[in-house]
Amino acid sequence: MRFNNPVVKGMYPDPSVCKVKDTYYLACSSFQYFPGVPLFESKDLINWKPIGHCLTRQSQIQLDKVNSSGGVFAPTLRYHNGRFYMTTTNDTTRQNFYVWTDDIYGEWSDPINVDQGGIDPDLYFEDGKAYFMSNGADDHGRGGIVQCQIDIETGCKLTPSRVIWQGTGGRYLEAPHLYKINGWYYLLAAEGGTEYGHMVTYARGPSPGGPFEAYPLNPVLTNRNLGGYEIQGVGHGDLVQDNGGNWWMLHLGFRQIGRWFAYHHLGREVFLTPVTFGENGWFTAGDNGTTLSCFETDRIPEEVVQNEKKSDTFENTEWDKDWCYLRLPRSGNYSFERNRLTLKGTEISLDQADTPTFIGIRQRDFNAVITCDVSLESGEAGITLYMDENHHYDFAIRKDENGYKVIERLNIGDIKSIEKAVDIHHSCASLIIRSTPNAYSFVVQVDGKEIHLGTAQTKYLSSEVAGGFTGVMIGLYAYGEGCLAEFSNFKCEYA
């Protein structure tokens, strides 16, 4: 059969996967968004359904006034003796921790901290022992992939932290995962930075602590130096074996907005790549070590169909699974119905690293039409294309002393400009945003007429301009004390 990449679209970076019986489970990073660490399940590795989050209580994660791209970094999801474990980092507090659950569809435990630094923590279980790994420095300050044994009940270290591998020489060695396959212990990692030089490397050894020998042909997977190729930034992978005994890698990558236009704003997404073990015990990945936008494979039955969701609406999404907030929301400011959303504004704006009244869903493709009916009596409310507090495009209705206006405001770094404002005679309007790979256009529909306010280039919401590790969220927001806004008929339709 033929499947297309990415298999999970939109800003879902740093995927980690585990398999329980015939079901695969996937966890991804969430950074400053709440709930934290989104979860998916699949029966075939290509169709993934959101099932919830690991961090659903504010007591589980400190996100108050966390800057964009801070907060919850790369998770590892593992299953051992009937229990799921998710270990991750709050990069803002520099604390590694894990949570656990016996029901992946239910609540997770309170955090259990581990006194080992670095980020991208990993758990490996064997013979009653729990090994904890991260990138960072050991107890003597030596850098690399660091490992210790922990008491899985308490998180307390049972052995000193020591470096077990220092990679192949690429910068930003990270994302360690340990596996035992056919008698060898394989240590997977990422190097090169989560950008255009990103790559997957690995080593193998005779024990969980090594010594580890690097794969002679590292990197095993990378799309670096592929000029004119849409998929870039390939790295940060996790291995999983399917029911047929075949091996796969779920990993991140991103789609740049044009073959020769090196910007990306959808964020880092989830890609699937086949892995093949050779007779010598080393494995290869992808198409000559690269990830493709489309793979032909006989590993997935022909009757499996890759289903792609072409629209998001209030009715076909779930508030607690598909949508998320900025940092720690004030629940009293949100009222949900099946086809309507009511938001109560505050004096906290989208420009602050704080908790504005905002709920967002990830933009999943370049070509889209976003529509929503918005009404309010005071303040400001509308749609924001949100990258971070310094980079977002706002399309909104605003009430001032002269009446109601629809505004197009561009926020690019220190430049914050209302590009155009048009007067309307009502407190409600239909807002329309048309998206292409290169630009957003803003149109308001009032009294059956469409008024075009302007356009804005997508590249100014890209990681190359804004920095950080996130992607564009389609956010609905309200601003201003006393603002009470209603949103209805929301739809994001992808071409």
**Do 474 and 460 form a contact (C-beta atoms < 8 A)?**
no
210 and 344 in a single domain? The answer is no
| CATH number of the domain residue 78 falls in | 2.115.10.20
Assess if residue 16 is contained within a domain.
yes
**Do 189 and 197 form a contact (C-beta atoms < 8 A)?**
no
320 and 397 in a single domain? The answer is yes
364 and 272 in a single domain? The answer is no
What are the tokens at 85? 């474990």
Q: What is the mean pLDDT of residues 4-20?
A: 98
Task: Give me the pLDDT at residue 259, please.
Answer: 85
Q: What is the mean pLDDT of residues 287-297?
A: 97
The residue out of 262, 296, 330 marking a domain boundary is: 296
| CATH number of the domain residue 345 falls in | 2.60.120.200
What are the tokens at 42? 């699949």
270 and 343 in a single domain? The answer is no
Assess if residue 304 is contained within a domain.
no
Query: Would you tell me how many other CB atoms lie within 10 Å of the CB of residue 31?
Result: 25
The residue out of 296, 325, 359 marking a domain boundary is: 296
Task: Give me the pLDDT at residue 448, please.
Answer: 84
Answer yes or no: is pLDDT of 459 > 90.
Answer: yes
- Burial of 381 per CB tally in 10 Å (0-12, 13-18, 19+): buried
272 and 362 in a single domain? The answer is no
Query: Would you tell me how many other CB atoms lie within 10 Å of the CB of residue 150?
Result: 21
259 and 353 in a single domain? The answer is no
Assess if residue 242 is contained within a domain.
yes
315 is catalytic: no
Three-state DSSP class for residue 221: strand
Q: Which of 14, 44, 312, 388 is catalytic?
A: 14
Instruction: Give the tens place of pLDDT for each residue, 372-429.
Output: 999 999 999 999 999 999 999 999 999 999 899 999 999 999 999 999 999 998 899 9
Task: Give me the pLDDT at residue 228, please.
Answer: 82
Assess if residue 66 is contained within a domain.
yes
Side chain identity at residue 85, one-letter code: Y
Q: What is the mean pLDDT of residues 178-182?
A: 98
Assess if residue 301 is contained within a domain.
no
Q: Per-residue confidence at 456, pLDDT binned at 50, 70, 90? A: very high
The residue out of 296, 326, 346 marking a domain boundary is: 296
Instruction: Give the tens place of pLDDT for each residue, 19-32.
Output: 999 999 999 999 99
Task: Give me the pLDDT at residue 304, please.
Answer: 96
Instruction: Give the tens place of pLDDT for each residue, 52-99.
Output: 999 999 999 999 999 999 999 999 999 999 999 999 999 989 999 999
Q: Per-residue confidence at 484, pLDDT binned at 50, 70, 90? A: very high
Q: Beta strands of 46-128 (E only): which ranges?
A: 49-55, 76-80, 83-90, 95-101, 112-114, 119-126
Who's near 448: CB < 8 A, 6+ residues apart? none
Q: What is the mean pLDDT of residues 274-301?
A: 97
Answer yes or no: is pLDDT of 283 > 90.
Answer: yes
145 and 205 in a single domain? The answer is yes
Instruction: Give the tens place of pLDDT for each residue, 187-236.
Output: 999 999 999 999 999 999 999 999 999 999 999 999 998 988 899 999 99
**Over pLDDT 70: what percentage of the chain?**
100
Secondary structure, 3-state, 453-484: EEEEEHHHHCHHHHCCCCCCEEEEEEECCCCE
Task: Give me the pLDDT at residue 236, please.
Answer: 98
- Burial of 304 per CB tally in 10 Å (0-12, 13-18, 19+): middle
Instruction: Give the tens place of pLDDT for each residue, 93-121.
Output: 999 999 999 999 999 999 999 999 999 99
359 and 425 in a single domain? The answer is yes
14 is catalytic: yes
Q: How many CA atoms lie within 13 A of 285 on its CB side?
A: 29
Residue found under tokens 């793979």: 295
Answer yes or no: is pLDDT of 351 > 90.
Answer: yes
Q: Per-residue confidence at 146, pLDDT binned at 50, 70, 90? A: very high
Answer yes or no: is pLDDT of 139 > 90.
Answer: no
Please state the φ and ψ torsions of residue 384, each to the nearest 5 degrees: -120, 135
Assess if residue 302 is contained within a domain.
no
277 and 201 in a single domain? The answer is yes
Q: Per-residue confidence at 338, pLDDT binned at 50, 70, 90? A: confident
Assess if residue 390 is contained within a domain.
yes
Three-state DSSP class for residue 415: strand
202 and 87 in a single domain? The answer is yes
Q: Which residues form the domain of 490?
A: 311-494
pTM value is 0.97
| Closest C-alpha among 80, 81, 82, 65 to residue 122 | 80
- Burial of 414 per CB tally in 10 Å (0-12, 13-18, 19+): exposed
Distance CA 268, CA 274 (A): 19
CA-CA-CA-CA torsion sign (419, 421, 427, 429): negative
277 and 315 in a single domain? The answer is no
Q: Which of 44, 122, 174, 312 is catalytic?
A: 174
Q: What is the mean pLDDT of residues 167-188?
A: 97
Q: Report the number of distinct structural domains present in the chain.
A: 2
221 and 370 in a single domain? The answer is no
Q: Residue 114's beta-bridge partner residues?
A: 96
Assess if residue 38 is contained within a domain.
yes
